[in-house]
Structure 1
């Protein structure tokens, strides 16, 4: 889409001659403004010694239709005018500095012409005198019609209408790439349909670059080192550590553990897969575990508080308790290693509470206990 320039207007400057200057019957001065001269604006001075062949005759003022007096200064501009009749058709005031605009046979001072007919710029709001850019349902000064994104002047460049905005071709291509969820090549300014290569924070087609070492055309898996780009093969030969998880080169921080090197974000707990990020880890059979899952799998977690037991442990029924948390599950009385207790529903019960059980229940519990011992489960 191209912006179009509106019609140019002619501006005339009236410069009256000195009435006392010796001159022929008509003295003329052509005044040109800008690039064009559209008409002639003339000041006439009538001398007393008129030629016999010349007569005022039917000459009348274009405005008042009255004749002219001898030795009267008049204006010649598409007809003859008294100087006091040669005024703005809107405000009826003399033209400031003799400057006027003519439209449809009527003459206007610059102010009234702008108010009545001149377009206003869609950006700055000022009247436009001279070249007009017609675009986006508005008028613009050439220097005001710019790209919405990069502010590049579009008057002579052409533009693309994008969601009600005027964009240069490069910015439109970039916006289109964003809408498609694709990258925009920083070098050739086109959409990247395949894999992209990131370099110095910008996206490129990989084929714009060659390996700094072997010269092969690069692919999206190229790597940067010391400000240069390398193919993956050359990069791996440079002694750069390889991550034990993703098998890709490690270009930033390195974690050394389990006899391997790791990306920081790839060194994770074998159970919950959360990165350690510098926190303590535990190793077991070639795997790394966070503290909680290591103790859950290989250590002791209190059955009551679910915390790791660092001191003495009370163990029973394949469970573990902190010393302060080992108590009767019925009366909550604290028990020690010397306290006699019984199992009920996989929980400890003190002797006093057990003795209060019905006889039939105690017989069934005793029978189940004997069968477990016989089966080697206890």
Structure 2
């Protein structure tokens, strides 16, 4: 039993001493001030165990420091208001704040339900949709220049419609070639992976992720036999006589010199060759010259 009747922090016995119980733990007054005491919002000193404390929304005061920010009237046990994190008596909240409703231009007094948006304050009943005039209150809305619209009116008046599902886009929208899409609708035609923020390829108005394009659509290089994806190394494609190559695979069959953007000769039996190599022997009649 004696083991349990000790300070949780310093382990000194609490018999015959004043102590405080905090979160199920007993501690001496010194350790309470050191480890548990809150700091007063007004004087910025610790609120010791032998002081009376007032708290409001995770803010703490000595009871003697809990006063109106304007007139210094003690507010412990009294009703009060808050404005911009200031604690105010009801009289000061009404007369000192001078907050006017952006809609009706009348004062917003203590106790009035109000809405704050982008530095402006409105009576709750004055914050209405510019189109249907219904009270928006605390519901979702869309600001457009100096007007506000409820979700339904914004969809009717302003929202873009998805190219795929033809439903209004209210969030997570993207644009491709001046066409609007929901992010979840702009997907690979093969595997349905979302393409927003990803590399993709368009083929005949169909969109493919890199993997699906490589596996199912891409031309195969006549040199290395791998897909030509158009991404990364070998993004340039060379085609000739219905054959395709990565630019780094388009090499002379005899000396392996790269022929991209160079003159070459082509023969169906011998494939591509550089001019220097081909001129070592007579050219066959079927040879083609390219420049």
Pairwise TM-score range, normalised by the shorter structure: 0.3 to 0.5
TM-score (structure 2 length as normaliser)? 0.41
TM-score (structure 1 length as normaliser)? 0.33
Q: Which has the larger radius of gyration?
A: 1
Q: Greater RCO between the two (CA within 8 Å, min separation 6)?
A: 1
